[in-house]
Structure 1
Amino acid sequence: DGRDIDVGGTGISAAGFHSTQQISQASISLRESKGQLNGNIADAMGFNATQGGKTIVNGADGNTVSAYMSQAGSGFSAGSGFSAGSGKNYSKLLEGNIAVISGTGKISGLYNVSAGSGFSAGSNQSQFATMNTTAMGVKDETAGVTTLKGAMAVMDIAETAITNLDQIRADIGSVQNQVTSTINNITVTQVNVKSAESQIRDVDFASESANYSKANILAQSGSYAMAQANSSQQNVLRLLQ
């Protein structure tokens, strides 16, 4: 859903580089970062280009490079013009001329210089200084506004947070619309129930009114009949008098 940035990788060193793949990897959750980036993440974002170089070529005399260029599928194999068997011997030129940097190698071992030149070990004139992050003044870059890349990282985090916030607002709006629709449906149902109850009560009242009118008519008819009977008796008594 675009809410997290996940750059996979395991065994990342302190400098942020994998020891065998020579790549920089890190994982970060933008919802949990809170604007804080450590050295590994900053290096994976391209901030620390000078950090992390480990083993580049295995083999002190470049044989591994020659073997790689001579194998099939390398682009330098037999018939390509670059293999040892092509007659041009381009890959053979690499043997003995490749500087090898290993995880524990020293910078002074990369160059073949004569004694007394000022650069050889033990000449007591000029030695290569220890090349590390402290000596070179390299530091991990973190998110902040003091540097251009840090500010850009902060802007990226802010834009991603805004996008996430918009998505959350959209989700909340959708739920709110559903709740409003449910409330409206309940209100309509309540009105329909009250209307049905009113109609039922009206029908019962009409039926009872009809029964009352019928009973009233019967009562009046009985009273009239009784009056007529009494009148007949009085008429008979008058005739006898």
Structure 2
Amino acid sequence: MRTQHETPAETDTADLIAGKAITFDELTAELGAIELRLRQLARAAETPATPVEVADAIDSLRSSASTVRELRDRMGLLSRIVEGDVPLAAVFPTGDPWGVAARGSDRTEFGGPAIVPTMWQLIKLAQDGKRAAAAGGRETTTYPEAMAGIGIGWESKAASARRRRERDAAVAAEVVRIACEKCGAGDGEQCRTAKGWATEKPHVGRQREAETTVDAALGYLGDNPVAVPDA
């Protein structure tokens, strides 16, 4: 199921991925190709077949290429980090643990246990790990060591949000297929108020029935996905 703004081409990522999920190495290579293509387009646009001045477009293409290059370099660093090539600080500057070591820890001041670190946290841990390794005094670790056994069934915040949007869209479509016992609205009709005004907010019973039907089809328990496909 696609969200309202996704196209079939956008959801077809098969040619980007060699295995079950994209690696940071693959992301780095693809971003490098996009950056090069943008710079090539900027160069080609300097001499268009029809005489139109497109200097602003050329500058925009080159600016976009620079942004993609920065992201490519970041993904390249993450690729080395997850492979274990980069020493990482064993704890955050606050002394809080991360990864396996963060399980069961009370870290409310930090905002919760960073079992799965963010990109920026890993980059910071790499910077601190480099300094620690040079000083020879502080403990360092690697990503494979710190994250051993973590990741099964995990999905990113972006994927969870997308699946939530897909679920909400499916519920909205299912609602109008169900007859409303409260106001008598039928298939394809919106619910109505006591005075007969159409409302975009369905009655609770109709909404609940639609959510139950969709959640059973998608594998949701309340607001939470029961299983992550292909995890």
Q: TM over 0.5, yes or no?
A: no
TM range (shorter): under 0.3
Compare CA radii of gyration and give the structure with the larger one: 1
Q: TM-score when scaled to structure 2? A: 0.26
- More relative contact order in 1 or in 2 (CA 8 Å, sep 6+)? 2
